[in-house]
């Protein structure tokens, strides 16, 4: 009934060709470029290229951590479920502590959100880990405070892309300003969310695999679907 493209590989190829043609990717280094392309692909907005910010040698730090089997700590179940486990180079654990233990009680005690309180449960896993925050600005703020005060060890890298109208923009600016020597990837402004955060982790996982991705990020047949 409808005339539309059905071949998944052709859809994939045309999608990335469109990104290459329409997005301004000139400012990204060779190793940053495939990450930026994946973020744009996940949200369908080429203008989002202007909002992507990298801090430190985040690609190297994250891929080394992934190859070493370090865990990925997520602020929300939607982020956790968006990470494609078969792409992870070392069967890395993907953890979300939002529903662990008495998170609700701890949040009440701390006078904060459950997402922020759940960060406290990362203490045994966070050193050298990958952080993936795609929903709660309070989780990112709390993480930065805990690292700065020494309550939590430093992760290998922070993917900080919370979404929303209250605190999202500010939490990401705080990450850019106060991450210190912890490398990061973020999206300035209100935009973010589980999809782009998980897509960033998946892109890093592809890069961490020896045969996963070409430098421009446009051919990834062995890595499977383009999500």
Residues assigned a catalytic role = 41
Category of 180 on φ-ψ map: left (φ > 0), alpha (ψ -120 to 50) or beta: left
**99 vs 76: CA distance, rounded Å:** 9
Question: Which residue is it, tokens 């050193």?
Answer: 127
- Name the nearest CA neighbour of 158 among 139, 179, 137: 179
Is the CB of residue 82 less than 8 Å from the CB of residue 194? yes
Instruction: Give the tokens for residue 71.
Output: 């865990």
C-alpha of 30 from chain center: 19
Angle between the N-to-C axes of helices 33-43 and 8-22, in degrees from 0 to 180, rounded to the nearest 10: 110
DSSP state at residue 102: T
Maximum CA extent, the chain: 61
C-alpha of 181 from chain center: 18
């Amino acid at each position: 009934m409808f005339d539309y493209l059905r071949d998944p590989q052709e859809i994939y190829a045309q999608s990335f060709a469109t990104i290459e043609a329409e997005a301004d990717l000139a400012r990204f280094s060779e190793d940053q470029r495939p990450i930026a392309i994946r973020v744009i692909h996940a949200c369908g907005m080429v203008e989002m290229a202007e909002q992507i910010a990298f801090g430190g040698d985040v690609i190297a730090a994250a891929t080394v951590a992934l190859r070493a089997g370090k865990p990925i700590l997520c602020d929300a179940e939607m982020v956790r479920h968006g990470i494609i486990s078969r792409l992870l180079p070392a069967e890395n654990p993907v953890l979300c502590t939002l529903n662990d233990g008495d998170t609700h009680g701890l949040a009440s005690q701390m006078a904060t959100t459950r997402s922020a309180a759940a960060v406290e449960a990362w203490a045994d896993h966070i050193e050298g880990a990958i952080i993936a925050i795609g929903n709660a600005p309070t989780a990112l703020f709390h993480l930065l405070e805990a690292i700065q005060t020494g309550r939590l060890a430093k992760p290998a890298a922070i993917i900080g892309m919370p979404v929303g109208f209250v605190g999202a923009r500010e939490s990401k600016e705080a990450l850019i300003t106060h991450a210190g020597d912890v490398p990061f990837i973020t999206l300035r402004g209100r935009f973010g969310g589980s999809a782009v955060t998980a897509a960033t982790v998946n892109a890093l996982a592809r890069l961490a695999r020896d045969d996963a991705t070409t430098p421009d990020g446009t051919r990834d047949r062995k890595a499977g679907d383009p999500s």
